Amino acid sequence: MFNKKTKTKVLVIAVKDDRRRYEFLMEPLKRIKTLESEVVLKTKSYLVFLGRLFIKAGRFRPDLIIAVEADVIGFSAILLKQLMFRNRPVVLRSGGDSISPRLASFRKFLASRGERSLRETLQFHKDRILNILSMYVYAKCSHFIVVNNSYARELHKSINLKNRKIFIVPQCRSAEQLNRPKKWDRNDSIRVLTVTNLRFEGKYRGLLELLHYLQRFVSEGYLKNRKCVFQICGDGSYYTRLLEHVKTIPDRDNNLRILCQGYVRKLNPYYSSADLFIYASYFDALPNVLLEAQAHGLPILVNDYQPFQEFLTDHWNALFYRSGDFEDFRLKLNELMTNSNLRTRLGANGIKNIMENYSAERIAVELERVISEISNYPR
């Protein structure tokens, strides 16, 4: 049990990236008056990072260690615990990507006999090593913080929890990103956006579904004298395949323009210029991009993948279409295009959802409760 006379010291270990995703956890932690938090970010050189981690941890003397994601980060947290802080709990905080599809992707890759690019093969072996580290971390950490019930259920099935517990706390979304609901001010065109991670087959499969359905929607004349610009932001081992696939899609009267942007460091301009956000996946838990799209007041069209239904409500802050059903996709997209009141309502409710359920202040309350419970958990 921690010393209640002083603040609980929480050390966060996370990846340093362009989008500062570690702030999803740090921003709420900074708002908890009973805590003192520090963060160590992984750099490109693992040895430099590990050295900095041990030096900072030795000076800070944390009561609790939180690893943001498993693999290398989680492994480093377990290593720190075993060498310096044996009686400290290590909590694994897992984000937007589900577990079961990831494990299935390894089995599918091994069973497949098709041709693979060198990039895909190297990425697979890299992911396989990281997956082994992740399984080790899942077995060794003290508790889990996950983003939704779907992830918790998968975790229950994937590992032996023993006396450990899973807590559900979603990531926060900065209020600075909040925008007014979008208005379609172009009568002759529509700008559609998706943002995805093309490292994973389940996300690539969802993107191909969107491409096929949007192409069919345009080619069969449902766009009604409008042009459609479809912006795709995201990179990964499937990106080359995406570019090759896009080359095979014919433009009908130039009414559909597909722009593959690859990795984009600053996404705000893309959200701000879009009229509609569409997304399909068979891999995610709580993807950050769907929170970002809501924060920007965008109407959302998404497939009815079960994890999405935990934080999106059909006809309230998004429209769902039945996965694999073009006719339902067509009906929902047409409904969005013809009903301005619906678009405005979806955008406004998306912003409301972020403010009420995903603000740093709201998540801070949940984290304080969770950390307090972990601190009093018998070890």
| Spatial distance between the Cα atoms of 321 and 333, rounded to a whole number of angstroms | 9
| Spatial distance between the Cα atoms of 3 and 147, rounded to a whole number of angstroms | 29
Instruction: For residues 33-50, give the mean pLDDT.
Output: 93
Amino acid found at 336: L
Structure tokens at 217: 């929607």
- φ/ψ region of 99 (left if φ > 0, alpha if ψ in -120 to 50, else beta) reads alpha
Instruction: Please list the residues that pair with 166 across neighbouring strands.
Output: 144
97-106: per-residue pLDDT in tens?
Answer: 545 545 555 4
Give the dihedral of Cα atoms 165, 169, 171, 172; nearest 10 deg.
-150
C-beta of residue 264 within 8 angstroms of C-beta of residue 270 = yes
Mean pLDDT, the chain, whole residue set: 87
The more confidently predicted of residues 53 and 118 is 53
User: Given pLDDT bands bounded at 50, 70 and 90, which one contains residue 30?
Assistant: very high
pLDDT at residue 339 tops 80: yes
C-beta of residue 200 within 8 angstroms of C-beta of residue 102 = yes
- pLDDT at res. 101: 47
Structure tokens at 361: 């202040």
Q: Three-state SS for 284? A: strand
Q: Three-state SS for 336? A: helix
* Domains of the chain, first to last: 8-172+360-375 (3.40.50.2000), 176-357 (3.40.50.2000)
263-309: per-residue pLDDT in tens?
Answer: 998 899 999 999 999 999 998 888 999 999 999 999 999 999 999 99
